[in-house]
């Protein structure tokens, strides 16, 4: 999967992502992270890319033309453009649809994605109208720029790309699968600070372990995220267990 990030801070994105699991996946050729500096497409000698908003108001706005020129340059590198199609472009914005695991799974099916990071008070609406296909927020709060949001998305999507995680199974059974949170997990030693690993996990009885894990997932979801349970498919027995 190829990520193209349009940003005023390419170092921030590259340094943040080219470490650990995502960095290793890139080294293995499973994905690529191409951060492009919008400032390189400024059209004045001071390389400024922002100006005052019409109608007044606080702060500066990123101008349409440098963003558009940067977009055209990025498009040249995309498979979609080579096939005469419009590439998928996500504008990170607090006004977008809230990012979640379901969206990460959907986007992980793409071959490539362009992510546009705003700064200051945002970006001139006219260029957004022309190039954006998806508006995505990472939550109901306002960040200073879209870079951290883009990194969150890239991280969550990348770990779903086959081969990125050491063991693909670890992406299959975890929080938000089936609208449940993951069960508690334990590693060695068996006793730590006087706390024992639940004996069932040492029993070697796989069916019982699975049953216990499923119950724990349901309990945890009911305690921490009851809103998720509305979509979870529970058996009649599990529904009763929850009501007890």
Interface positions, 149-168, toward ligand SAM (CB under 6 A): 149
The span from the CA of 125 to the CA of 215, in Å, is: 48
The span from the CA of 23 to the CA of 35, in Å, is: 14
Does 17 interact with ligand SAM (rule: CB under 6 A)? no
Does 10 interact with ligand SAM (rule: CB under 6 A)? no
Does 179 interact with ligand SAM (rule: CB under 6 A)? no
Q: Annotated binding residue at 111?
A: no
- Specify the residue, 131 or 149, whose C-beta has the smaller distance to ligand SAM: 149
Closest CA to 137 of 120, 152, 126, 125: 152
Q: Annotated binding residue at 141?
A: yes
Which member of 20, 44, 76, 144 binds ligand SAM (CB under 6 A)?
Answer: 144
Q: C-alpha angle 12/13/15, rounded to 5°?
A: 65
Does 55 interact with ligand SAM (rule: CB under 6 A)? no
The span from the CA of 127 to the CA of 10, in Å, is: 20
- On whether the CB atoms of residues 32 and 18 are closer than 8 A, the answer is no
Q: Annotated binding residue at 181?
A: no
Q: Annotated binding residue at 90?
A: no
Kindly report the backbone phi and psi dihedral angles of residue 156, in degrees, each rounded to the nearest multiple of 5, phi listed first.
Answer: -65, -35
Does 141 interact with ligand SAM (rule: CB under 6 A)? yes
Kindly list the residues in this chain that would bind ligand SAM in the complex (CB under 6 A): 92-95, 117-119, 121-122, 137-139, 141-146, 149
């Amino acid at each position: 999967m190829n990520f193209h990030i349009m940003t005023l801070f390419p170092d921030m994105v590259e340094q943040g992502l080219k470490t650990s699991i995502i960095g290793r996946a890139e080294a293995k050729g499973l994905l690529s992270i191409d951060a492009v500096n919008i400032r390189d497409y400024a059209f004045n000698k001071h390389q400024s890319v922002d100006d005052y908003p019409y109608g007044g108001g606080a702060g500066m706005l990123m101008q349409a033309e440098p963003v558009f020129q940067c977009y055209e340059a990025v498009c040249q590198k995309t498979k979609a453009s080579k096939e005469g199609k419009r590439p998928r472009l996500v504008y990170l914005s607090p006004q977008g649809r809230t990012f979640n695991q379901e969206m990460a799974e959907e986007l992980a099916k793409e071959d490539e994605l362009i992510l546009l990071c705003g700064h200051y008070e945002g970006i001139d609406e006219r260029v957004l109208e022309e190039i954006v296909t998806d508006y995505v927020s990472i939550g109901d709060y306002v960040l200073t720029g879209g870079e951290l949001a883009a990194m969150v998305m890239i991280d969550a999507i990348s770990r779903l790309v086959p081969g990125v995680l050491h063991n693909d199974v670890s992406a299959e059974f975890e929080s938000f699968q089936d609208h449940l949170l993951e069960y508690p997990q334990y590693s060695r030693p068996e006793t730590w600070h006087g706390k024992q690993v639940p004996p069932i996990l040492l029993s070697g009885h796989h069916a019982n372990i699975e049953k216990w894990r499923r119950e724990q997932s349901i309990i945890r979801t009911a305690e921490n995220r009851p809103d998720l349970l509305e979509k979870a498919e529970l058996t009649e027995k599990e529904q009763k267990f929850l009501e007890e």
